[in-house]
Amino acid sequence: MSNKIEVPLELAHITLKNRVIRSAVHSFLADKDGYMTEAEYQMYETLAKNGVGTIITGHCCVDPRGRANPEQVNIYEDSFAEQFRRAAAIAHAADVRFIPQLSHAGPRAIDQDDLADVVARPLKKDREARMLTLEEIQAIEQRFIAAAVRLQATGVDGVQLHAAHSYLLSRFIDPTFNQRTDIYGGCVENRFRMTERIICGIKEACGETFPVLIKINLDTKAEDHASYHEDMVWILQRCRALGVELVELSGVDFINQPRTDTLYYLDEAKILKAAVPEQPMSLVGGVRSLDDMDNVLGAGLDAVSLGRALIAEPDFVVKQLSGGEPSVCVSCSRCFVLPHMHPGIRCVWAWKAEKARQKAARTTEA
Ligand SMILES: Cc1cc2nc3c(=O)[nH]c(=O)nc-3n(C[C@H](O)[C@H](O)[C@H](O)COP(=O)(O)O)c2cc1C
C-alpha cells in the first residue's frame, strides 16, 4: 500500500504527482552574474529523481535593486529566462513540477547604498533605510509581474511569491515592520495590498490558469498574536478568492527554533487549515522523518515541504519510503555559511555521517 505522501495532489490548474515539495532553498550555486551553473542543474536532477513531486527554486531576484546574495539566480531581465527552460525540462523528465520563487530582498539587498523598506528604519551597521514611495512600490509590483511573464514562456509550472522570512513582501504584511499610514499600511487589506496586486497582475498577464503560489509566515514577532492570527485567516480566504494555487505556510524565525524540535509550526497550521479548508496549503519547517510528513498530512494540510532535510540528503524522501532513519539534520542552519567556507559541503551532519560510514567500511574490509 502506498504512503499518504505518495498520493497525487490535484490543485486548481496543476496536478502534483505526490505531496512532497522541495521548499525554496537558495543553492549558493549560481554564478556572480545571476545564472545557474552546471552544479545547480545537477542538483535539480538529483532532487527530481529522488522522490519529491515539486521543486520550488531558491529565491530568484525580480529587481536588480533587490538582490539578497551575490550568487543568486536572477530573473529581472529577459536574458535570465532561458536558463529556466533547461531546469524545468530536467524536472519534467522525472514528472516533477518546477516552480521558480520570486523575491525582492527590500532593505536586505546587498548592493545598494540607497536602501529602502516598507517604512524608514535603522538597519544593522549604522545604516538607515528610507521609506519606499508609492511609485516605487508599484514599480516593484510590475517587476514581479514581468518576471512571471518571462518565466511562463519557458515552460515552468507556475511561480511562487516569497512573502515570508522578512523579505520585502512579508515586511508589508507583518505589522511589526509595516507602520505605514497610506493605502499600503494599517489594516490587513492594506498590508496585503502589494502581494494581492502582484497576484492579480500575474493572473491578468499570464492568464487565470497560470499557477501562482505564495509562501507566507503564519506567525509574527508582534506582540498581538491573536490579531495576526485573524489577519492570516483573512489572507488565506483572500488567497482562495484570488485563485492562489497553494499557500506554503512558514514562520518568521525558522532559523532560531530549538534544535531538538520538529514541526514547530504544525499546531498553528492545523488551526489555519481548519479555518480555511478550501485553500490548498502546505507546511514547511522541521520535517525530519516519514512520521513528520504523515503528521503534517494527518493534520489536514494538503502537502508537506522540506528544506534542510533535502540539503542534508537529497534522496531523503526515497530513503524514508524504504524505512530509512530520520534526517541527520538538527536545524543548525550551518548550511547557510558552509558553502562559503567549505565548497562542496552543504550539511556538516551529513558530512560527518558519511565519514563515519566510510571509516566503518574500511574497518570491515581490514
Ligand atoms: C540554506 C538555506 C537557504 C534557504 N533559501 C530560501 C529561499 O531562497 N527562499 C525561501 O523561501 N526560503 C528559503 N529557506 C528556508 C526554507 O525554505 C525553509 O522554509 C526552512 O529551511 C525551514 O524548513 P526546514 O526545517 O525543512 O529546513 C532557506 C533555508 C536554508 C537553510
> Full-prediction pTM beyond 0.85?
yes
Pocket test for ligand 1, best of 20, 25, 103, 216 (most atoms within 8 A of CB): 25
Measuring from atom 23 of ligand 1, which residue has the nearest CA? 285
CA 26 centroid distance within chain: 9
Cβ proximity of 129 and 109 under 8 Å: no
Given this model, what pLDDT does residue 261 score? 85
Backbone angles phi, psi at 56, to 5 degrees: -100, 130
Given this model, what pLDDT does residue 260 score? 77
Given this model, what pLDDT does residue 125 score? 79
For residue 53, report the distance from its CA to the centre of ligand 1, in Å: 17
Given this model, what pLDDT does residue 156 score? 98
Nearest to 29 by CA among 351, 335, 328, 350: 335
- CA 298 → CA 103, 188, 294, distances in Å? 31, 30, 6
Mean pLDDT, contiguous 10-residue spans, the chain (366 residues): 90 98 95 95 97 98 95 96 98 98 96 91 89 98 98 98 97 97 98 98 98 97 90 98 98 86 94 98 97 97 97 96 93 86 83 90 84
Given this model, what pLDDT does residue 207 score? 98
- CA 322 → CA 2, 50, 309, 330, distances in Å? 11, 12, 16, 21
* The dihedral sign for the CA sequence 52, 299, 259, 336: positive
For residue 24, report the distance from its CA to the centre of ligand 1, in Å: 6
Closest ligand 1 atom, CA of 164? 11
Given this model, what pLDDT does residue 1 score? 54
Nearest to 235 by CA among 254, 249, 256: 249
For residue 295, report the distance from its CA to the centre of ligand 1, in Å: 20
Given this model, what pLDDT does residue 341 score? 79
d(Cα 117, Cα 120) in Å, to the nearest integer?
6
d(Cα 73, Cα 258) in Å, to the nearest integer?
31
* The dihedral sign for the CA sequence 175, 220, 58, 89: negative
Q: How big, in percent rounded to 5, are the helix, strand and coil portions of the chain? A: 40, 15, 40
Angle at 336 between CA 335 and CA 337, to 5 degrees: 95
For residue 21, report the distance from its CA to the centre of ligand 1, in Å: 12
- Ligand 1 binding pocket, CB closer than 6 Å: 23-26, 58-59, 101, 162, 164-165, 215, 250, 254, 284-287, 306-309, 331, 333, 335-336
Backbone angles phi, psi at 135, to 5 degrees: -65, -40
d(Cα 189, Cα 21) in Å, to the nearest integer?
29
Given this model, what pLDDT does residue 338 score? 84
CA 326 centroid distance within chain: 22
Cβ proximity of 22 and 305 under 8 Å: yes
